Amino acid sequence: MFITESEKILSEEYLDKGYIIRKIDDTEALDWIRNKFCLLINHTLPETNDIEAEELLNNIHKYVSVSKLNEFRLKIIQGINSEEIFREMYFRVARNYLEALVGNELAMQLRINLSIQLPQDDSSLLPVHSDVWSGDSPFEVVVWLPLVNCYGSKAMYILPPDKSAELVEKFAIKASGSSETLFQSIKNDVQWLDVSYGEVLIFDQGLPHGNRINEENESRWSMNCRFKGVFTPYGDKKIGEFFEPITLRAASQKGMAYKLPKSS
């Protein structure tokens, strides 16, 4: 393949592990995102004014109860998604990696998701799953961006490609019970992914993944957004409904608009 050495290294790591973790491409974009989140929090919770960003985000459980968490999360994510350049800023933190792994003509999810996981909260769990099992395209990748350092049970887990292939072969047996039964059957094989603020995780959402109860003393803030090649097959989530082209090149725009001359 005619790719650069750095692209080859990145691709081989992604294919081998099912994910990459790298320093973000654009610190200005990440700072913009986190500052916007803090402003929205301050507006929603005036008592948090003047608290430094890292302390505020890590300790949001001191200001928001579990019972009010989903209402709070929806208000914050609606506010950030209403910012016109938010998705562009999100794209900028991982652009070079996406172009190396996925391509330079990309479709991006229309709305970015936010996860807030308070310590010891069992109401915000994401059971083990593969997005492809529920109709997503296997051509998609997820860009997972933390706003705080995520480590241990404060992070997410993923089942590596080789173990995932084994699970697929025995899926009818292992998935015959609950999602918890399925997790218990693979818990010794999953990898917990430590991702610090200033880093980005890009992973294959076809691999089983999820989270567990956050047993750390800090809250988790992370976002996720799907990207795919514009011209690769779509699953249940279609272009125009769930995805939007963001980097169409001139030749593609010209080709899509081309009309053959009418015959007489």
Q: Which CATH class is domain 5-231?
A: mainly beta
User: Per-residue pLDDT tens for 191-208?
Assistant: 999 999 999 999 999 999
User: Per-residue pLDDT tens for 84-127?
Assistant: 999 999 999 999 999 999 999 999 999 999 999 999 998 888 89
User: Per-residue pLDDT tens for 9-44?
Assistant: 999 999 999 999 999 989 999 999 999 999 999 999
Looking up tokens 């070079």 gives 96
Are the C-beta atoms of residues 120 and 168 closer than 8 Å to each other?
A: no
Distance CA 224, CA 114 (A): 7
The per-residue pLDDT for 179 is: 86
**What is the residue extent of each domain of the chain?**
5-231
Are the C-beta atoms of residues 206 and 138 closer than 8 Å to each other?
A: yes
Residue 236 neighbours by CB distance under 10 Å: 10
In this prediction the pTM is 0.94
Radius of gyration of the chain (CA): 20
152-177: average pLDDT: 87
Long-range contacts of 176-181 (CB under 8 A, 24+ apart): 179/127, 179/128, 179/129, 180/127
- Residue 248 sits at the vertex; the CA angle it makes with 244 and 250, to the nearest 5 degrees, is 150
Confidence of residue 174 (pLDDT cuts 50, 70, 90): low
